Structure 1
Amino acid sequence: MRKFLDVVLVKAGRTKIRYRAGLLGDDGTRIGVRAPWAAPDVRDFGFVRFEPGDVFIEHYWRDRWYAVKEVRTGDGELKGWYCDITRPAVLRETDGPAELVVEDLDLDLWVSADGTDVRRLDEDEFADSGLARRDPEAARQALAALDELERIAKEGGLAELLG
């Protein structure tokens, strides 16, 4: 079994970011990886900060329209979960490291460590993306995935989903 792969996040047909991640597991449906915060600087959302030293335990599915990323500080303190609405993940074998390719569909969900702050993000970007016009079925799947994750989070079920 491989130890590392490259996560390739694609947005609007272009690679948004690529980073190396340690493979935690692949059961044929869900792929788990561990990676440090991939940007060189701090990203402050106002309700959470991602910064160098943070660690992301990321869960991708081949049959679901989302990815869930558990975010921890470098010393292990849970910050929360950042959920990306995506097309189902595709694992591609290459001559180099395998690539886990994920297409970002602009919608996101944040869930704080204590579960009291569940917020939908980037709905304006999603509307502006034109996905509903270009690919109505994908837009429907994306919105359904966001609703499903929000429901799971509000019911306190994210840990169970990832367990």
Structure 2
Amino acid sequence: MSANSAETGGRPQAPAEVEVVLVKGGRVKIRYRGVLVSDDGTRVTVRAGWAGEGVRDFGFVRFEPGDVFTEHYWRDRWYSVKEVCDAGGALKGWYCDVTRPATRSGTDLVVEDLDLDLWRSADGADVRRLDEDEFAASGLADTDPAAAAAALAALDELEGLARAGGFESLLT
């Protein structure tokens, strides 16, 4: 019997909820609820539905109501990796955000977005770096050169993983 089952008299416990708080430019960009899948002290995994309003069509992928994101955040890495599936469970691909390492306080999982992103399609044929213009315009290279260097290194690492076959090595 697990410790949780013992504490609840053998009754199954409801999944723990977390609130993902995405900060960009010092302000909260979006907050949304998800289910905590795991937290091993280094990596936090959350499952959440598409939190945007309506459909967001990027041209290379559409995020829409019913999509499910399994999101992996690290306390010691400068990125997050989000596996994106449609409502039927079919894999669309992976959307990766370059971020400062995540922090968790109570039910809040706080992540600071550093503007750089990467997309890898389900079949691996489409790997693309995104928002490098936004990153350059953010001025991070001037205000925090160490963070800017870490962000660029993280994007390079993500791209290398994506082109080498995917993110499974990070998630096992």
TM-score category, normalised to shorter length: over 0.9
Aligned length: 159
Indicate whether 1:7 and 2:20 are aligned.
Answer: yes
Indicate whether 1:150 and 2:159 are aligned.
Answer: yes
SS of the equivalent of 1:34 reads: strand
Q: What do you get for the CA RMSD once the two structures are aligned?
A: 1.0
Could you tell me how far apart the structure 1 residues matched to 2:52 and 2:114 are?
20
Identity of aligned residues (%): 70
Q: Which has the larger radius of gyration?
A: 2
The counterpart of 1:89, out of the listed 102, 126, 138, is: 102
Could you tell me how far apart the structure 2 residues matched to 1:160 and 1:116 are?
19
**Structure 1 residue identity aligned to 2:130:** L
**Structure 2 residue identity aligned to 1:11:** K
SS of the equivalent of 2:128 reads: strand
Could you tell me how far apart the structure 2 residues matched to 1:43 and 1:162 are?
26
What is the CA deviation profile of residues 38-88 of structure 1, one whole-angstrom value per residue up to 9, with x for unaligned ones?
A: 012100000000000000000000000000000000110000000000000
The counterpart of 1:134, out of the listed 121, 143, 151, is: 143
Deviating 4+ runs (over 2 angstroms)? none
Using the size of structure 1 for normalisation, the TM-score is 0.95
Which residue in the other structure is 2:45 paired with? 32
Question: How many angstroms does 1:120 deviate by?
Answer: 0.1
Question: How many angstroms does 1:157 deviate by?
Answer: 3.4
Q: Quick check: 2:79–2:154 contact (8 Å CA) kept in 1?
A: yes
Which residue in the other structure is 1:17 paired with? 30
Unaligned runs of 5+ in 2: 5-14
Indicate whether 1:52 and 2:62 are aligned.
Answer: no
Using the size of structure 2 for normalisation, the TM-score is 0.90
